[in-house]
């Protein structure tokens, strides 16, 4: 940028000379040029300024160590700043080469080779090597670690820049898990960890990400500083402060006062207020977390839900658009795919969702329930009871009388997975990582952790897709499975949840939503401040 300013200067002076300006005009023009050049000079001088976040949850030291990444998205709000992965989701792609410059797999799909970047460094100046990649995978103990380690036979490091993963058998999901469905691909420095140990690492983590660790006060804040040697680019903002502000109204107040620049999770009426506040902007993000209605009684011949027309009627009765506008200012994404997010590999796009209560009532009458029926409890995670209330109301309009049964999250998930909610209706959601196959495994096919019943025609497709190494053929099988889920109305899809955030006037590029399905700001090196 400084070079550009230098080039622009003489050219402008020539034009000014040609126009034969007065000395005063020349001085004025020079002053304007100087002012215009200041941001460019500042940028060239390195990172500057500070951005402060109001975070909705308490950060834990386990978030500083990729080896302990559980299957939830929240730790990634920190991992993207501190660390880097061999391959990870980035703007425009779910599998972007990061620490690896390139990768390839052999013909039998049993071996993956990654070639690392020579300019990738850890915060202590050490180069990222193949040994670090191997070490990070081997010490990984977070989500899906048993699965991944059971599939990998051997990791070879032919030289310091090349890593070869040899699988026991062909596994088409290897890269999905390595790049996004686990923390196994995030790389930590072996030498440093050998020196300080696991606990020492959590106290003072060193990564290969765009920001260095400065300090952490549990329950209070995390402070990070720009790592100027980051391979992708030098971050623009010098200092990041992530403050824990658990109360939503307090986060909004802090944003309004300028105490924080970015506030995560501001919902409902508070989001409306945020929109109305001059200088603040709403930044909605669509999460990789679909919400759905599930009919666990559909496999019971005596239940009304056994009749597909009743399930179809329930689908037609849900006013998704109205609900999204009322609860999330219209920022939820209605894909009509119940359990597979649109950002996942092998996602199949169903026909558009339809809201047609009249048609729903006709279907109810055809099914012999013109007068409606008592559907029992509608179980839901209490934090999503606002959605469930609308669904209960929508169902009531076509005669399906359900009683809302909100249950605190931990209890609800335990009840859902232990298959206690056999009577009634369930409103579920999942932000679990994976692809369409992993979602089918959990929520659709026989013995799925959250499947209360199964359909043989779908079940028989499941092993077929798992064995299929050809991407297109596998995609076709998984599409067929999702199509059957849709046609049988096993679920009534609601939407992919809109996660609403706010930013203040100092924020230039916030990066919200640039990585599809990711809830938070990232990549951090792309963040910018507005010129004062």
Partner 1 sequence: MGRYITRRAGYCLLSLFLLSLTIFFFVRVTGDPAALLVEPGASAEDIAAIHHQFGLDRPLWVQYGLFMWTLFHGDLGQSFYYQTPVFDLYMSRLPNSLMLAAVAMIFSLIVGIPSGILASVRVGRFWDSAGKMFALLGLSLPSFWVGLVLILVFSVYLKWLPSSGAGTPLHLLMPAFALGWYFAAAHMRLTRSSMLDVLGSEYIKLARLKGLPEALVIAKHAFKNALIPVITLAGINLVIMVNVAVVVETVFAWPGIGRLLYEGITFRDFPVVQGVVLLGGAMIVLVNLLVDILYATIDPRIRLER
Our CB check for partner 1 shows the closer of 218 and 463 to be 218
Our CB check for partner 1 shows the closer of 253 and 308 to be 253
CB of 151 to partner 1, least distance (A): 13
CB of 144 to partner 1, least distance (A): 6
Both tokens of residue 497?
């949840």
Our CB check for partner 1 shows the closer of 258 and 463 to be 258
- Please report, as residue ranges, which positions from 1 to 20 form the binding site for partner 1 (by CB under 8 A): none
CB of 423 to partner 1, least distance (A): 20
Could you say whether residue 434 binds partner 1 (CB under 8 A)? yes
Our CB check for partner 1 shows the closer of 52 and 361 to be 52
CB of 191 to partner 1, least distance (A): 23
Answer for the pair 388, 492: CB distance below 8 angstroms, yes or no: no
Could you say whether residue 204 binds partner 1 (CB under 8 A)? no
- Please report, as residue ranges, which positions from 347 to 406 form the binding site for partner 1 (by CB under 8 A): none
Our CB check for partner 1 shows the closer of 83 and 439 to be 439
Could you say whether residue 450 binds partner 1 (CB under 8 A)? yes
- CA separation for the pair 233, 252 (Å, rounded): 32
Could you say whether residue 231 binds partner 1 (CB under 8 A)? no
Our CB check for partner 1 shows the closer of 250 and 386 to be 250
Answer for the pair 323, 270: CB distance below 8 angstroms, yes or no: no
Beta strands in 313-468 (DSSP E): 373-381, 400-407, 425-429
CB of 502 to partner 1, least distance (A): 14
List the one residue from 414, 420, 423, 463 that touches partner 1 (CB under 8 A). Answer: 414
Could you say whether residue 432 binds partner 1 (CB under 8 A)? yes
Answer for the pair 505, 532: CB distance below 8 angstroms, yes or no: no
In the shown chain, the binding pattern of residues 102 to 141 toward partner 1, with x for contact by CB under 8 A and - for none, equals: ---------------------------------------x
Both tokens of residue 209?
């990400």
Answer for the pair 207, 78: CB distance below 8 angstroms, yes or no: no
Answer for the pair 493, 338: CB distance below 8 angstroms, yes or no: yes
- From 40-48, 54-62, 106-114, 278-286, give the range in contact with partner 1 by CB under 8 A: 54-62
The β-bridge relationship of strands 152-159 and 281-294 is unpaired
Could you say whether residue 268 binds partner 1 (CB under 8 A)? no
Could you say whether residue 244 binds partner 1 (CB under 8 A)? yes
Could you say whether residue 147 binds partner 1 (CB under 8 A)? yes
Answer for the pair 123, 208: CB distance below 8 angstroms, yes or no: yes
CB of 245 to partner 1, least distance (A): 5
Could you say whether residue 256 binds partner 1 (CB under 8 A)? yes
Could you say whether residue 409 binds partner 1 (CB under 8 A)? yes
Write down the residue that tokens 């919902």 correspond to.
Answer: 267
β-pair partners for 293: 427, 492
Other residues' Cβ atoms within 10 Å of the Cβ of residue 154: 10
Answer for the pair 374, 401: CB distance below 8 angstroms, yes or no: yes
- From 22-30, 397-405, 436-444, 490-498, give the range in contact with partner 1 by CB under 8 A: 436-444
- CA separation for the pair 222, 405 (Å, rounded): 38
Burial of 389 per CB tally in 10 Å (0-12, 13-18, 19+) = middle
Name residues whose C-beta falls within 8 Å of residue 200's C-beta, 6 or more positions apart in sequence: none
β-pair partners for 88: 96
Answer for the pair 330, 324: CB distance below 8 angstroms, yes or no: yes
- What is the full DSSP assignment across 274-309? HHHSTT-EEEEEEEEEEEEEE-GGGG-TTSGGGSHH
Could you say whether residue 311 binds partner 1 (CB under 8 A)? no
Our CB check for partner 1 shows the closer of 24 and 257 to be 257
Both tokens of residue 473?
């053929």
Could you say whether residue 269 binds partner 1 (CB under 8 A)? no
CB of 484 to partner 1, least distance (A): 19
Both tokens of residue 428?
């579920």
Return residues touching partner 1 (CB under 8 A): 58, 60-62, 68, 70-73, 141, 143-147, 202, 217-220, 243-247, 249-250, 253-254, 256-257, 259, 289, 408-411, 413-414, 416-417, 428-434, 438-439, 442-443, 449-450
């Amino acid at each position: 940028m400084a070079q550009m300013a230098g080039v622009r200067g003489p050219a402008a002076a020539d034009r000014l000379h040609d126009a034969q300006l007065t000395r005063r005009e020349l001085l004025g023009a020079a002053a304007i040029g100087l002012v215009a050049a200041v941001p460019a000079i500042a940028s060239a001088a390195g990172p500057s300024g500070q951005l402060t976040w109001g975070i909705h949850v308490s950060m834990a030291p386990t978030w500083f160590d990729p080896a302990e990444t559980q299957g939830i998205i929240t730790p990634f709000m920190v991992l993207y700043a501190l660390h880097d992965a061999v391959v990870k989701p980035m703007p425009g792609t779910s599998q972007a080469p990061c620490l690896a410059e390139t990768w390839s797999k052999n013909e039998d799909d049993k071996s993956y080779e990654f070639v690392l970047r020579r300019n990738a460094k850890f915060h202590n100046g050490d180069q990222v090597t193949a040994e670090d990649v191997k070490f990070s995978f081997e010490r990984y103990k977070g989500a899906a670690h048993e699965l991944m380690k059971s599939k990998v036979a051997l990791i070879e490091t032919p030289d310091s820049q090349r890593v070869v993963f040899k699988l026991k058998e062909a596994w088409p999901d290897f890269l999905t898990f390595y790049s996004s469905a686990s923390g196994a691909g995030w790389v930590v420095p072996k030498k440093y960890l050998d020196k300080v140990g696991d606990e020492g690492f959590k106290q003072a983590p060193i990564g290969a990400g765009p920001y260095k660790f400065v300090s952490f006060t549990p329950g209070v804040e995390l402070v990070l500083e720009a790592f100027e040697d980051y391979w992708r680019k030098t971050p623009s903002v010098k200092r990041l402060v992530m403050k824990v502000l658990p109360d939503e109204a307090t986060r909004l107040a802090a944003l309004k006062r300028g105490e924080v620049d970015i506030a995560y999770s501001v919902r409902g009426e508070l989001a409306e207020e945020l929109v109305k506040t001059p200088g603040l902007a709403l930044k909605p993000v669509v999460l990789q977390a679909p919400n759905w209605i599930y009919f666990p009684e559909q496999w019971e011949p005596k239940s009304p839900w056994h009749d597909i027309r009743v399930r179809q009627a329930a689908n037609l009765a849900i006013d998704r658009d109205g609900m999204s506008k009322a609860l999330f200012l219209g920022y939820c994404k209605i894909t009509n795919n119940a359990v597979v997010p649109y950002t996942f590999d092998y996602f199949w796009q169903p026909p558009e969702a339809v809201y047609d209560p009249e048609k729903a009532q006709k279907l109810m009458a055809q099914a012999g329930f013109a007068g409606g029926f008592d559907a029992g409890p509608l179980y839901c995670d209490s934090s999503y009871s606002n959605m469930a209330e609308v669904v209960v109301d929508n169902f009531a309009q076509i005669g399906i009388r359900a009683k809302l049964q909100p249950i605190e999250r931990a209890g609800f998930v335990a009840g859902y997975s232990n298959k206690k909610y056999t009577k009634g209706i369930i409103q579920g959601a999942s932000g679990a990582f994976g692809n369409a196959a992993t979602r089918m495994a959990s929520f659709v096919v026989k013995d799925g952790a959250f499947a209360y019943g199964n359909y043989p025609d779908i079940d028989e497709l499941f092993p077929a897709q798992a064995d299929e190494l050809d991407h297109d053929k596998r995609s076709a099988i998984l599409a067929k499975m999702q199509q059957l889920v849709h046609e049988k109305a096993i679920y009534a899809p609601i939407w992919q949840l809109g996660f609403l955030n706010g930013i203040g006037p100092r924020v230039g590029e916030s990066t919200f939503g640039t990585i599809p399905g990711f809830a938070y700001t990232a990549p951090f090196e792309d963040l910018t401040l507005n010129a004062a």
